[in-house]
Every structure is written in C-alpha cells, then in structure tokens.
C-alpha cells in the first residue's frame, strides 16, 4: 500500500483541511496516511471525522513553519517542523511521498536539500497545472523552484514535465512548448533561443514557442520556462482571476435586477467556479527530487488536499522518478555545470 506523509501543519487553515482531506483520501484512494504535526491538535481534529479502520497514523513533529518564515530560516532552524519530519519519512523509506500546503519556498528547500535531487537532474522544477478552454490541462514548469536557468535546465524541465503529464493525464505524446514572446524560433531572449535549438533536436513532441495566452487555449500540454518567468505567470493569472471575480461580484450586486439574475444563474456560477478552481488539481509536484513531493496552495481546502494526495499517489504508482532518471540519462545534450 502506498504511504503518503501529509504535512498537516502547513496550510493557512491547518490542520483542519489537511486532516479532513487525508480522511477522504484514505477512504477513497486506498492509501495509507501519516499525518505529521502537533499530536494533540491532530488527534482533536481527527476525532471530528469517522475514520475507524482507515490506515491513518499520527507522526509527531514539534515545530511549525509559518508563511512568514523565510525558506532558509525554515530549512535551517526548524529541523523538527512537520515539513522536515514528513520529508524524513520519505528519505527513510517509511513513506513514498510528501504532500504539503505549507510555505512553498520552505517546503521546496526542505524537499530539495532533505531528499536531494535525482542523479541526472541539475535542478528540480515546480510544475503547476492550469485548466484550459478545451476542458483539458496545461502544465507550466518551472513556476518558482529556480531562477536564472540555463538552456540545459529548460530541456530537463521539458523531459520531466512530459513524463509527469503522461503519468497523470494519460496523454501518450503530450505537446511540449517553450514559453516565449512570439512563435518564430528567433523570437524570445537569449535563454529561449538557445533552448529552442536543443528542444528541436530532442525526441520530445516539441511544437516550438507559445505565448502567454496559449497556456489557457488548449493548444499545448507541457510549457517550459525559467522559474522567475513561471512564477510571474502563475501569480499574474491568480491576480487576474481574483480581480475579475471581485469586479463581477460587485457588478452583480449593484441593482435589484442583477441580484435576481445572479440568484437565477447561481448554479452556472458554481460550475464556472469549479472549472477555474485550483482545488480540483490538488497541487504542484516538485519534479526532480528523490521522493515524490506535491505542494498545494496555502489556502487548500479538504478537496485540494485529497487531490494533492491523489496526484502524489499517481506519481508514485507511475514510477515517475524512475522514468525521469532513465529518460534524462539517455539525453545526449550537453549540460552546464
């Protein structure tokens, strides 16, 4: 049985959604859960749910990383945090994967340095799924694990992203593209122009450059970029979505007729919101580290936690790390130091 270590103290509302999501996951996904955190709090929270017979255990961790902790402080000073302990469970083989909705930078640092990178990987990459207009999913990576990437790193991101996409979404030959500012090979910056040439020579289904708006139109499955760019793209898309939702709400509450209209269309809004809700996706895997790590949004609800556990389970089941090792080792591309 696959065992998932859940950092139960990480998210904005921890440990409530972490515990509830874990109970659902244990029941529905057939996985064993190690809930890592302050035992008293976890016991209290767990008592609120019927969990008799489910393979859920509490593993104590005395410290909690907050959203305000800097990644380096959290990594170096809070060695008995729930994120550290969950990661250690993976390193020692007691768990197959870590799931956390905690401080993204801190969890990445703990996973990267606590677990180490796969032997053929220079830098891990955080891969964020986006919903597309065609009802599918596009994965953008790296969205924040690295900045100032080299062309060879983007090639590794492409390979890792493609393997992840195949494992989670079942597409046999996902289309891979570079995020740039024009479709032509010559468009972009020094990094993308150099990476373009290397990707063209790879065995990937590389379709060339795509622009920012193509993330959402379903024309491509795996999109690679430097982590600085990817993080900006991720935050901009969150910002626009929040902004539009707020303005729409305000507009709909402005008159009696629009309010009535809203009441009548409520179901439509609900289905609309579900479509753009990150909770359905669960989280972003940190690809390239030894041991599966999935990082959820800080405001993850129980559904998001359950789905993050599902993603982690599928990555373990799909042997994604073994595939990454194998496929990267086979690439005849020069890699900078």
* Contact positions vs a second copy (CB under 8 A): 70, 105, 131-133, 144, 147-148, 179-182, 184, 188-190, 211-217, 225-229, 231-244, 246-248, 250-252, 254-255, 257-258, 260-269, 271-272, 275-276
Of 139 and 234, which has the nearer Cβ to a second copy? 234
Of 120 and 132, which has the nearer Cβ to a second copy? 132
User: Tokens at residue 205, please?
Assistant: 């289904």
Q: List Cα–Cα distances, 116 to 3, 106, 110, 124, 165, in angstroms.
A: 20, 15, 9, 9, 22
Contact 153, 228 (CB under 8 A): no
Of 57 and 184, which has the nearer Cβ to a second copy? 184
Shortest gap between Cβ of 149 and a second copy (angstroms)? 9
Of 153 and 290, which has the nearer Cβ to a second copy? 153
Burial 109-135 (b: 16+ CB within 10 A, else e): bbbbebbebbebbbbbbbbbbbbbeee
Shortest gap between Cβ of 34 and a second copy (angstroms)? 31
What is the C-alpha to C-alpha distance for residues 128 and 125, in angstroms, rounded to an integer? 10
Shortest gap between Cβ of 241 and a second copy (angstroms)? 6
Shortest gap between Cβ of 208 and a second copy (angstroms)? 15
Shortest gap between Cβ of 231 and a second copy (angstroms)? 4
At residue 174, what are phi and psi to the nearest 5 degrees? Answer: -60, 145
Residue partners of 309: CB distance under 8 A and separation at least 6: 4, 6, 21, 22, 25, 29, 31, 33, 99, 282, 294
For 137, other C-beta atoms within 10 Å of its C-beta total: 18
Of 230 and 285, which has the nearer Cβ to a second copy? 230
Of 251 and 330, which has the nearer Cβ to a second copy? 251
User: Tokens at residue 26, please?
Assistant: 């244990």
Shortest gap between Cβ of 18 and a second copy (angstroms)? 24
């Amino acid at each position: 049985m696959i065992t998932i270590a859940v950092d139960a103290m990480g998210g904005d509302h921890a440990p409530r959604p972490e515990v509830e999501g874990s109970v659902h996951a244990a029941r529905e996904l057939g996985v064993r859960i190690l809930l890592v955190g302050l035992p008293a709090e976890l016991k209290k929270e767990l008592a609120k749910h019927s969990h008799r017979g489910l393979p859920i255990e509490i593993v104590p961790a005395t410290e909690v990383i907050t959203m305000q902790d800097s990644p380096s402080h959290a990594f170096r000073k809070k060695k008995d945090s729930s994120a550290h302990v969950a990661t250690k469970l993976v390193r020692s083989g007691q768990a197959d994967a870590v799931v956390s909705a905690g401080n993204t930078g801190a969890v990445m640092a703990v996973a990267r340095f606590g677990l180490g990178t796969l032997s053929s990987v220079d830098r891990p990459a955080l891969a964020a799924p986006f919903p597309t207009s065609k009802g599918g999913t596009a994965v953008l990576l790296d969205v924040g694990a690295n900045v100032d990437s080299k062309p060879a790193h983007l090639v590794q991101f492409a390979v890792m992203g493609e393997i992840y996409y195949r494992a989670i979404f079942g597409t046999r030959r996902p289309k891979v593209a570079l995020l740039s500012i024009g479709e032509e090979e010559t468009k972009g910056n020094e990094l993308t122009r150099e990476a373009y040439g290397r990707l063209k020579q790879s065995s990937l289904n590389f379709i060339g450059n795509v622009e920012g708006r193509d993330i959402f139109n379903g024309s491509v499955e795996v999109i690679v970029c430097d982590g600085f760019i990817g993080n900006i793209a991720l935050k901009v898309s969150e910002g626009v979505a929040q902004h539009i939702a707020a303005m729409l709400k305000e507009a709909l509450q402005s008159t009696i007729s629009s309010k009535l209209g809203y009441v009548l269309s409520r179901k439509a809004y609900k289905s609309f919101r579900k479509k753009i809700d990150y909770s359905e996706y669960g989280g972003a895997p940190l690809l390239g580290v030894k041991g599966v790590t999935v990082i959820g949004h800080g405001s993850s609800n129980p559904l998001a936690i359950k789905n993050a556990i599902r993603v982690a389970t599928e990555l373990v089941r799909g042997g994604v790390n073994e595939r990454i090792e194998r496929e990267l080792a086979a690439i005849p591309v020069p890699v900078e130091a």
